[in-house]
Amino acid sequence: MAFSTSFSRPIVPFNTKSFQPFSPSLYFLKPLDQNVPLMSYKRSCGCMGINCSSSEVGPPSDPVNGRVLLKVSGEALAGDQEQNIDPKVTMAIAREVAAVTRLGIEVAIVVGGGNIFRGASWAGSSGLDRSSADYIGMLATVMNAIFLQATMESIGIPTRVQTAFRMSEVAEPYIRRRAIRHLEKGRVVIFAAGTGNPFFTTDTAAALRCAEINAEVMLKATNVDGVYSDNPRHNPNATLLETITYQDVMSRDLSVMDMTAITLCHENKIPVVVFNLNEPGNISKAIIGERVGTLIGGM
């Protein structure tokens, strides 16, 4: 019996060049057989994302990335609804991830938990210490991960949830080699429970997992279009930055990510793309390497 030993691979430099525009006429690659060239077919679709009723939507078949890590904030999962999780948002994420996995791109996801509970905000309330509050926040990320897993599997995407601490009844424990093997087999892996330690954000967990699995880029899906020169809520003249260095993010104290996460990305040369999750098609564009939002450190 033959066993694969390809648990890691070299990191390929992230290509920061723009690609051809994203067309409503979408192409897909579908392998008919391992020994037969990939065949493509064309289908017309007028939208992509939350308003699209079909699960067979996707990007042009010219991906530049082989393995990516997508960070989805808890607030983004809530959408504009009053409930903690908006099913339309999770379905939109699932459909776009499904489209790019058909191209052979390996996708890992880290989810936040701020839509349910944010430890830093609750620490000190009702006698709740910071460590306990952070652990509750980690449990919130597991709820989001299980919900997203169920949504993805409902449209045929094989998905595994791995948690930073053991919750064997609902998820696998995080094991780096097992996670990489899942990705190599075409499964989506959702990392939950942050780093498993209090005082660390899920952005830091995303940077850590990105480095561990040798992902080529970290994609941070948020409710904003990217990184601005100033706070656009207070300064109407603030402009969206297409590119920015790690050093500028740190020296200007921009609130795109916490300093621990930015430092991890800087030290491990991980480019970060910050983009708006609510713009239809942005997830798949970011995953295949099209320019969306703001690129940090990839110049």
What is the CATH number for 173?
A: 3.40.1160.10
85: closest CA among 50, 116, 111?
A: 116
pLDDT of residue 299: 57
| Residue 160 in tokens | 């595994």
- 3-class SS shares of the chain: helix, strand, coil, % to 5: 30, 20, 50
Q: 3-class SS at 253?
A: coil
Query: Which residues touch 121 (CB under 8 Å, ≥6 apart)?
Result: none
Does residue 287 lie within any of the structural domains? Answer: yes
In a domain, 48, yes or no: no
Q: How far apart are CA 92 and CA 176, in angstroms?
A: 28
For residue 231, give both structure tokens. 């706070």
The parent domain of residue 148 ranges over 59-296
Asked whether residue 54 is domain-assigned, the answer is no
**Residue 233 maps to a domain:** yes
Q: What is the pLDDT of residue 256?
A: 86
pLDDT recorded at residue 3: 47
pLDDT, residue 223, reads 86
Element (H, E) at 101: helix 87-101
Q: How many CA atoms lie within 13 A of 138 on its CB side?
A: 24
The answer to whether residue 262 is domain-embedded is yes
Number of structural domains found in the chain = 1
Pick the closest to residue 190 from 158, 220, 155, 223 (CA basis). Answer: 158
Q: Exposed, middle or buried, 123 (CB in 10 Å: 0-12/13-18/19+)?
A: middle
191 inside domain:
yes
Q: Is the residue at 179 inside a domain?
A: yes
Neighbours of 32 (CB within 10 A): 9
Q: Can you give the pLDDT of all 299 residues of the chain as single tens digits? A: 454 444 444 444 445 444 343 333 333 333 333 333 322 322 223 333 333 333 444 444 456 679 999 999 998 898 877 678 999 999 999 999 999 999 999 999 999 999 998 877 777 777 889 999 999 999 999 999 999 999 999 999 999 999 999 999 999 999 999 999 999 999 999 999 999 999 999 999 999 999 999 999 999 999 889 999 888 778 888 899 999 999 999 988 888 899 999 999 999 999 999 999 989 999 999 999 999 999 999 75
Q: What per-residue confidence (pLDDT) applies to 62?
A: 59
47 assigned to some structural domain: no
